[in-house]
């Protein structure tokens, strides 16, 4: 009786037009809400442009050119030959921002994956099993939250820095420090995600379909992975998107402070290392302006997308 | 409430143990403390051996941690390397307030080294926090009251950019504009490095003048996020029944907004301020390093690079304790402000 009344009210609220149209699929609903968020669409376009810039640029400049030093060309202002100028050892900044962009974007994406794996594992175990496991894991999470992240990151960057040999992939050599940075960023930023996942698990595991799954003897891991986790997709996707931006920012901080990815591998962050010297601040603003702006644009576009995803996927949560 | 506070404090103990063990293990495998002690001179092998014994680096790491934590004055050490432990240790350990001695500053207690720098960091962080809260309230309330106006959209865009900006970028940008360009244009320009001009001396005016850019950089980044937050909580509160009641009984708009609505909207801000301390400390670290501000963050960086274990560990523990205490204060204040919240 009650539900019939609700349906009637719901029907009355719709116009005749909408009633005739076939019901929207989840994907259509998502797209309809996402499309309305103009900033998010702008973010998608901007991010695509940045990806094209970083991964299409190598067609124009070779990596050897990006890493070639020529001290006679030190700190040249932007010109036709070097549109973004040259750095303190005469490398072309335009070419370096292209190759640096690849690494920075990759670090953002891979660190996010590390973070998601750790965050989901800890959050799911804590939320699903509860009790002692929950309180132990949550104390552990709090411990990580209580260490100021940047301080710990720097200690870890210094500890692991230089311990991993260079990696050769697709005929290119990457500094081993890239792997170090990815891992330590992932390891120091999973806590919020773990809390979100735990909260979702706590509420979903009380649902009747979980009881049904248990009653039919479904093993624990299958309930976790196949029955509860898909219900937590929305907040995970939103949080993961925003953490790509966060990882790119963190990489730039560590590299800016000189403990990040080691040269000759360029990243937007390590191009900014040592730019706070008097000489560069006074005379060579192009050295930090271009890589710095690219970091801002990337982080901005990802934040826009994250915001749009939150509105579209997870309308209950409040944007901060 | 008392029980809650006690429980939280007890929980903090294993937490600090955990933090200190992780950091200690990382620190002990990093760099070469003996080389740091020697400074620029090369060290003779026999000196190296002696210093290694003196610093206790020949002991297993668990023993080193124990000495760091509980001191070694109850134990005898073998300093001359003849296999007989005869010299009593002198360290008291962190548990008794002895953080060891700094390697870079040749035997000066680590706590004294850190303590020298803490006022400078606070000098940046307290004004920054005031600017952040004041500015964010102003911007947030304005855009909540004028939701979807042209200026609200502009503010939203700016806050997003501010939120996405690494702190060093805004620092470099403001340095370039307010110091380099202003100077070039013949305008009064701001100083960029240090706490005071050596030729003038450390006068309050000089220090304030040097504080402008770092405080501006720290504040801009956090203000962006805060004002977004205030905007959304304010919007939520403004649509509530009691606000409508206040309006309909004819209270002036100003009173409704600033007394009735703001009071409840500002509650979550307390949490935000409390939880953001680690972020603010990180921001201070970067800012201090750019502006050559002699604070704790820069001390951390300098001494991390030279493997000065006592100082780095001291800073890490102090900041962790500060974070824990701040979170506890936040919880208590929050419960006090909002009687609906009960912790027990």
pLDDT in tens, B105-120: 777 888 888 888 889 9
Residues of chain B with C-beta less than 8 angstroms from the C-beta of A303: 160, 163-164
**pLDDT of A172 over the 80 cut:** no
From A146, A275, A292, residue closest to B15, measured CB to CB? A146
Rounded distance between C-alpha atoms, residue B209 and residue A312, angstroms: 47
Q: What is the pLDDT of residues B77-93, one digit of tens each?
A: 766 666 667 777 777 77
- With a CB-CB cutoff of 8 Å, which residues 156-195 of chain B face chain A? 160-161, 163-169, 171-173, 175-176, 179-180, 192-193
Predicted pLDDT of residue A69: 74
pLDDT given for residue B319 in this prediction: 86
* Least reliable range by pLDDT among A72-81, A200-209, A278-287, B134-143: A72-81
Q: Where are the alpha helices (DSSP H) in chain A?
A: 2-13, 16-20, 26-36, 38-56, 63-67, 93-129, 131-146, 149-160, 177-188, 191-204, 208-215, 220-222, 233-256, 278-283, 286-313
Give B47→chain A minimum CA distance, Å: 26
Question: Cα–chain-centroid distance for residue A250?
Answer: 10
Q: How far apart are CA B169 and CA A293, in angstroms?
A: 8
Contact present, B101 and B112 (Cβ < 8 Å) = no
Average pLDDT over residues A5-24: 58
Whether the CB of A31 is below 8 Å from some CB of chain B: the reply is no
Any idea what DSSP says for residue A268? T
For residue B58, the SS3 value is coil
Q: Which pLDDT score, from 0 to 100, does residue B42 have?
A: 67
Interface of A with B in 68-127 (CB under 8 A): none
**Any A CB within 8 A of B29 CB:** yes
Res B100 pLDDT > 70: yes
Q: Find the mean pLDDT for residues B174-199.
A: 83
Are B304 and A155 in contact (CB < 8 Å)? yes
Rounded Cα distance, B132 and B276, in Å: 12
Instruction: Tokens for A300, please give them.
Output: 């901005």
**Does the distance separating the beta carbons of A292 and B169 come in below 8 Å?**
yes
Q: Is the pLDDT of residue A284 over 60?
A: yes
ipTM: 0.82
Across A152-177, average pLDDT: 77
Q: Which of A146, A276, A257, A270 is nearest to B300 (CA)?
A: A257
Q: Which residue of B has its CA nearest to A287?
A: B172
- Is A317 an interface residue toward B (CB < 8 Å)? no
Q: What is the pLDDT of residues B253-284, one digit of tens each?
A: 888 888 888 888 878 788 888 778 777 888 88
Q: By percentage, how much of chain B surpasses pLDDT 90?
A: 4
Dump pLDDT digits (tens) for B316-343.
888 888 888 888 888 888 888 777 777 6
Q: What residues of B are in contact with residue A143 (Cβ under 8 Å)?
A: 15, 18-19
Q: What is the pLDDT of residue B281?
A: 82
């Amino acid at each position: 009786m009650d539900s019939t009344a609700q349906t009637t009210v719901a029907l009355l609220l719709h116009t005749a037009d909408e009633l005739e149209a076939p019901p929207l699929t989840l994907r259509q609903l998502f797209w309809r809400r996402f499309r309305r968020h103009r900033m998010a669409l702008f973010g998608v376009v901007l991010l695509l442009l940045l990806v094209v810039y970083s991964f299409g640029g190598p067609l124009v400049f070779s990596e050897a050119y990006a890493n070639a030093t020529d001290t006679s060309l030190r700190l040249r202002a932007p010109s036709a030959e070097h549109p973004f100028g040259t750095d303190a050892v005469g490398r072309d900044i335009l070419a370096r921002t292209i190759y640096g962009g690849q690494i920075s974007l990759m670090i953002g994406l891979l660190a996010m994956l590390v973070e998601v794996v750790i965050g989901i594992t800890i959050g799911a175990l804590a939320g699903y099993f509860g009790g002692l496991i929950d309180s132990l894991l949550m104390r552990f999470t709090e411990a990580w939250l209580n260490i100021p992240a940047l301080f710990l990151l720097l200690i870890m960057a210094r500890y692991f820095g230089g311990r991993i040999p260079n990696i050769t992939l697709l005929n290119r050599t990457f500094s081993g420090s890239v792997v170090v940075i990815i891992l330590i960023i992932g390891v120091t930023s999973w806590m919020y995600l773990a809390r979100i996942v735990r909260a979702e698990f706590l509420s979903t595991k009380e649902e009747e379909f979980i009881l049904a799954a248990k009653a039919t003897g479904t093993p624990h891991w299958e309930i976790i992975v196949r029955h509860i986790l898909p219900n937590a997709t929305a907040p995970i996707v939103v949080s993961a998107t925003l953490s790509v931006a966060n990882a790119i920012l963190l990489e730039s901080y560590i590299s800016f402070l000189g403990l990040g990815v080691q040269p000759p591998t360029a990243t937007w962050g390590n191009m900014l290392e040592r730019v706070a010297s008097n000489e560069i601040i006074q005379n060579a603003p192009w050295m930090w302006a271009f890589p710095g702006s690219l970091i801002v644009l990337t982080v901005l576009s990802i934040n826009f997308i994250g915001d749009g995803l939150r509105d579209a996927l997870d309308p209950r949560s409040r944007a901060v | 409430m008392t029980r809650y506070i006690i429980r939280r404090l007890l929980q903090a103990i294993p937490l600090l143990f955990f933090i200190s063990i992780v950091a200690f293990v990382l620190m002990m495998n990093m760099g070469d403390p003996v080389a740091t002690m020697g400074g620029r001179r090369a060290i003779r092998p026999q000196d190296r051996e002696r210093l290694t014994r003196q610093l206790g680096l020949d002991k297993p790491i668990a023993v080193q941690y124990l000495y760091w934590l509980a001191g070694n004055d109850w134990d005898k050490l073998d300093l001359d390397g003849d296999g007989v432990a005869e010299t009593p240790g002198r360290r008291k350990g962190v548990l008794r307030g002895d953080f060891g001695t700094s390697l870079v500053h040749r035997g000066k207690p680590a706590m004294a080294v850190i303590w020298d720098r803490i006022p400078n960091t606070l000098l940046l962080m307290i004004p920054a926090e005031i600017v952040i809260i004041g500015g964010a309230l102003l911007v947030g309330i304005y855009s909540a009251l004028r939701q979807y106006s042209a200026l609200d959209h502009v503010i939203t865009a700016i806050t997003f950019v501010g939120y996405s900006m690494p702190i060093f970028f805004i620092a470099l940008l403001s340095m370039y504009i307010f110091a380099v360009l202003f100077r070039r244009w013949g305008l009064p320009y701001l100083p960029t490095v240090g706490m005071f001009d050596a030729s003038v001396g450390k006068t309050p005016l000089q220090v304030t003048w040097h504080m402008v850019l770092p405080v501006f950089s720290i504040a801009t980044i956090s203000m962006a996020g805060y004002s977004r937050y205030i905007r959304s909580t304010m919007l939520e509160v403004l649509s509530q029944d009691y606000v409508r009641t206040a309006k309909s009984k004819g209270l002036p708009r100003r009173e409704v907004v600033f007394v009735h609505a703001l009071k409840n909207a500002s509650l979550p801000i307390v949490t935000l301020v409390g939880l953001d301390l680690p972020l603010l400390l990180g921001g201070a670290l970067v800012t201090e390093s750019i502006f050559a501000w002699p604070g704790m963050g820069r001390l951390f960086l300098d001494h991390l690079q030279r493997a000065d274990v006592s100082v780095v560990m001291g800073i890490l523990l102090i900041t962790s304790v500060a974070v824990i205490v701040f979170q506890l204060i936040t919880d208590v204040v929050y419960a006090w402000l909002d009687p609906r919240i009960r912790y027990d």
